[in-house]
């Protein structure tokens, strides 16, 4: 049985992933890819959904970054955005959306891991002390396999957080580069006038 914390974490994960999927859909990710992401959500493969969503958004943003003419920089808020399909996209908001989704997923996976670890420990302890009921070797093996799978998913979630932060640094570096180029161009045009 899942604890209340795990249920709350699951609710946060599903909400975050729905927000990510809605963003991707609005930004024009093709229907086949979206259908695959939705199927993965139905199978509760949340880590796989985030991996693919991260891949799709990085591909999408790099195409925007190649076109500096579509970028606007707001020095007052230190944010930057791109125009896409007639809509303004705040890149800082995109990064925050993906980072928070990865963090929710990581918190959920850590909670599940803790529960399964406690369960496996209890099964092994019961078997060694022969108290309540004797846990079968198959039960213990199944629990250990689940524990290993969850450990891999926890690691993948943490890796996702690291990768989104690296992606953020690349975007910010590119922003600074384009900002300085824009300032230099503006200064040159003022000199000409």
Kindly report, residue by residue over 155-187, the tens digit of the pLDDT: 888 888 888 888 888 877 776 776 676 666 666
Tell me the two tokens of residue 1.
């049985």
pTM exceeding the 0.85 threshold for the entire prediction: no
What is the average per-residue pLDDT within 116-144?
A: 69
Length of the chain equals 193
65, 64, 82: which is closest to 73 by C-alpha? 82
> What b/e string do you get for 139-170 counting C-beta neighbours within 10 Å, with b at 16 or more?
beeebeebbeebeebbebbbebbebbeebbee
Q: pLDDT band for position 149 (50/70/90)?
A: confident
> Is the model more confident about 32 or about 89?
32
pLDDT digits (tens, 9 = 90+) for 3-55: 778 788 889 999 999 999 999 988 888 899 999 999 999 999 999 999 999 88
């Amino acid at each position: 049985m899942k604890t209340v914390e795990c249920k709350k974490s699951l609710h946060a994960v599903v909400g975050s992933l729905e927000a990510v999927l809605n963003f991707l859909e609005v930004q024009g990710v093709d229907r086949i890819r979206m259908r695959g992401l939705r199927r993965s959500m139905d199978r509760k493969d949340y880590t796989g959904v985030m991996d693919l969503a991260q891949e799709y958004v990085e591909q999408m943003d790099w195409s925007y970054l190649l076109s500096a003419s579509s970028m606007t920089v707001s020095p007052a808020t230190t944010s930057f955005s791109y125009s896409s399909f007639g809509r303004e996209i705040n890149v800082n908001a995109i990064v925050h959306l993906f980072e928070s989704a990865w963090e929710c997923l990581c918190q959920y996976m850590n909670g599940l891991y803790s529960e399964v670890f406690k369960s496996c420990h209890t099964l092994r302890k019961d078997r060694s002390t022969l108290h309540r009921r004797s846990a079968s070797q198959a039960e213990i093996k199944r629990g250990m396999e689940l524990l290993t799978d969850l450990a891999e998913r926890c690691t993948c979630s943490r890796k996702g957080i690291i990768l989104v932060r690296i992606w953020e640094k690349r975007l910010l570096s590119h922003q600074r580069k384009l900002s300085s180029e824009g300032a230099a161009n503006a200064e040159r045009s003022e000199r000409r006038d």
